[in-house]
Structure 1
């Protein structure tokens, strides 16, 4: 189903009343795919984000506090991950906007590509576990949880191998970009677009966060929320391989050695998604430049079983 163009692309520019969304859409200072920016701003300028998010956010944060108190009196390892993921998939299918669902599924794919890029260009052999959802139902088998585990397992495996070999990450003259590509198997028009699919990405994330906390163990929830601060770690890995640190300023979930409160997990998750898109956009530009110069290098992803 074709999506209606957002209002900010239909309205004529008025110098006395300029649209902030149009300014962000036209700006090219950050490396992000145009289709992603379009979907992001359509979602961000929606009525749901304007009128629903301000009420959802305080409610969600209060719920997190109450659940944290409840968790003090429940077994620390009590978790219902399968139920959680079925509930998340149901919520995505029935209530979330097409643009938001597309960005969520896309995030699993490009996040895996970023880890595979580091693994392929590291001086040691590292196994990765790429995620490639094709539809909303694919998140039901613990995909959210596996996504978080992949980050920690990758950092542990990479640095254990580097320490054991006495090597370190360094600039690669001809980086392998073969795993970096647009997940074209995902299309916005294939996402659910019924009347009830109105919820924007940030509102959905704010609602998902206390649900995540309720059905996971306290350790799993803490680990998941603090995995967001690994954005800086992954960014440094990529910047080291490319000898280009100018885009590290776009990473906002830092510093990984200072754990943050879980109350702002929803907002930080939005930053995590945007940082991942910018990293992917930057790698896509570098891959295109390498292809034009005739320096393309092909190498398949390395995969391992699910953790």
Structure 2
């Protein structure tokens, strides 16, 4: 973990005890079960100039546009509704303006989320998997197929389908003695990501920009469902805890209590927490897989 030379992260050679770098401390810290490559990408992205200087300017305007979008949808709840235009715009922005680290974390998130859901159904309802839209994007253009919207639909359809099957079998999610980790893989293969002159926008700033577009170009119901799906981090974490008998990862979940939805104004920040929660749960399962194999 201390090998940071050439990684874009401060190394021990830069350690000034009178002025220690907070990002170096976070890089060296091993308390969170996150893949080193993902952690490095996140730290590089979070310490960028874009996040430091552009995000504080963008965020208040983005939240104002969320309010405007919701006022529009108060009058016309189902208009405008342009998911294909929305995803084409997101893909264009990712390809031409986002950093490679931001794009890597976005595409990686869909893979990890799909693996976690598959892991739960492998162990909770062996032989049954709720039918879901595929979530294995390899390149930015894969986003155009309504990937973000389908991601939100998947989680709700998964919860409904999984629990309907549990009811049919008259069983609960309980601890499994020999856990099936076949769905959990450590590597996510992606195509080469763009590194153009203008690929400088960090992930958090991009999310703050995308959120009001999401609010405007989807129906009111779609946006409400998408933002409140973030709080299902707690639900998925509880499923994993019951199956594994381990609860340590629950302390890492911040998006919780889905029965009491948060305001949509902070959806951008909560989406960052959602991405981190997914990385941590997946990393925790990778750790358990290694331990079981050993």
TM-score, normalised to structure 1's length?
A: 0.91
1:9, CA displacement in angstroms?
A: 2.7
TM-aligned CA distance change 1:43 to 1:10, over 3 Å: farther
Q: How far apart, CA to CA, are the structure 2 residues paired with 1:4 and 1:14?
A: 19
Q: 2:142 maps to what in 1?
A: 138
Q: Displaced runs of 4+ in structure 1, greater than 3 A? A: none
- Retained in 2: the 8 A contact 1:77–1:219? no
Matches within 5 A, 1:144-293: 144-186=148-190, 190-292=192-294
Match of 1:46 among 48, 67, 71: 48
TM-score, normalised to structure 2's length?
A: 0.94
Q: How far apart, CA to CA, are the structure 2 residues paired with 1:272 and 1:181?
A: 20
TM-aligned CA distance change 1:160 to 1:5, over 3 Å: same
Q: How far apart, CA to CA, are the structure 1 residues paired with 2:273 and 2:15?
A: 29
1:182, CA displacement in angstroms?
A: 2.6
Q: 1:74 maps to what in 2?
A: 76
Give ranges in structure 1 of 5+ residues lacking alignment. 293-307
Q: 2:99 maps to what in 1?
A: 97
Coordinate RMSD, CA, aligned = 1.5
Q: How far apart, CA to CA, are the structure 2 residues paired with 1:74 and 1:288?
A: 52
Give ranges in structure 2 of 5+ residues lacking alignment. none
1:61 and 2:82 correspond: no
Q: How far apart, CA to CA, are the structure 2 residues paired with 1:133 and 1:7?
A: 27
Q: How far apart, CA to CA, are the structure 1 residues paired with 2:12 and 2:174?
A: 47
Q: How far apart, CA to CA, are the structure 1 residues paired with 2:114 and 2:189?
A: 15
Q: How far apart, CA to CA, are the structure 2 residues paired with 1:101 and 1:240?
A: 33
TM-aligned CA distance change 1:206 to 1:248, over 3 Å: same
Give 3-state SS (helix, strand or coil) of 2:248's partner: coil
More off after superposition, 154-163 vs 212-221:
154-163
TM-aligned CA distance change 1:128 to 1:22, over 3 Å: farther
1:202, CA displacement in angstroms?
A: 0.3
